[in-house]
Amino acid sequence: MRRIIRILRNLALLLIAAVVVLAGVLGVNALMRTSRQIDVAAAPRAGVDTDAASKRLAEAIRFRTISNFLDPEQNADAFRGMQAFMQASYPAFHAATKLEVVGNLGLLYAWEGSDPKAAPIALLAHQDVVPIAPGTEGNWQVPPFDGVVRDGFIWGRGSWDDKGNLFAILEAAEQLIKEGFRPKRTIYFAFGQDEEVSGQRGAKQIAALLASRGIKLDFVLDEGLLITDGIMKGIDKPIALIGVAEKGYVTLTLNLAATPGHSSMPPRQSAIGMMSAALARLEDQRFPAEIRGTVREMFDTLAPEIHAQPRRVVEPVAAQAGAAT
């Protein structure tokens, strides 16, 4: 009996020692991490006329650039109207770049860099938006295509997805060009017209065109996630999330044969019940979640910004996931 007690006591001491060592390692790890954030206030930048930029985006929202998979010409006039507005609003950008129209309404701009040996990059955004579900127009606080600037926000369909991104790119490039800036590497600006309905006429044809010319991009920056506030406990600063997952899709057709019957004498297993069970099984088979690569780098960057206690919880999770992958 004494031997058993002695063994249990030794195991308990080992466990306590392991916990103390782990806490010490995590504490030192947390203290050694320093912030990776740049000093935005100290960064040189020209003043941005936010009122004028907001009005330009609001005007863009008023063009009902709703894409249609079956009928690419359904709202072609709206697309061409917005494109004419873009050309009039950003003259320096259009003077410094070369424009090609791809797939009838897709836009591919090239801003030639000073170093022909430097690998080019591409900035992407899409011109189209999704339609408004019939009967839901009254649920909008502001009519979806009015393009209203109010209470510090730009209201309307596409203000975020994705005309906000499109016009932010144009605003930045226009200002840089006016300041005399020229990029070292060539920058392509690819603005598709049918991203919301698969991108077959826009992004796919633009990619094929670049590939046919042997153009290999160093990286592509496309529509991303939100700048969030309060999404993670322990951080009281806004967080710009990074999304790098390549998302695909699959279409499945499910068929089953069941014994026919009447609702007065329903079978033990109905066709609807069996089909529902099959759909539930499909939904349960999700891809496993992993933290690695750029996502792990994002957590490493967030770690120093988290208050001490939560940080000790987040860091080992990221470290463990990184070791597992």
What is the predicted pLDDT for the residue at 324? 35
What is the predicted pLDDT for the residue at 164? 95
H/E stretch holding 227 reads strand 227-228
What is the predicted pLDDT for the residue at 321? 38
What is the predicted pLDDT for the residue at 155? 96
Active site residue 51: no
Packed helices 50-61 and 76-89: angle between N→C axes, nearest 10 degrees? 160
Active site residue 128: yes
Contact 158, 75 (CB under 8 A): no
**Which member of 128, 171, 174, 315 is catalytic?**
128
42-224: what CATH class?
alpha beta
What is the predicted pLDDT for the residue at 319? 40
What is the predicted pLDDT for the residue at 154? 96
Q: What are the average pLDDT values for consecutive 10-residue runs of the chain, which has 325 residues?
A: 72 73 62 71 70 97 97 96 98 98 97 97 98 93 96 94 96 96 97 96 97 96 85 85 73 88 82 92 85 84 75 44 36
What is the predicted pLDDT for the residue at 224? 79
What is the predicted pLDDT for the residue at 320? 41
**Which member of 171, 174, 194, 195 is catalytic?**
195
What is the predicted pLDDT for the residue at 310? 46
Gap between the Cα atoms of 259 and 250, Å rounded: 29
How many other CB atoms are found less than 10 A from the CB of residue 60?
A: 25
Angle at 170 between CA 152 and CA 122, to 5 degrees: 125
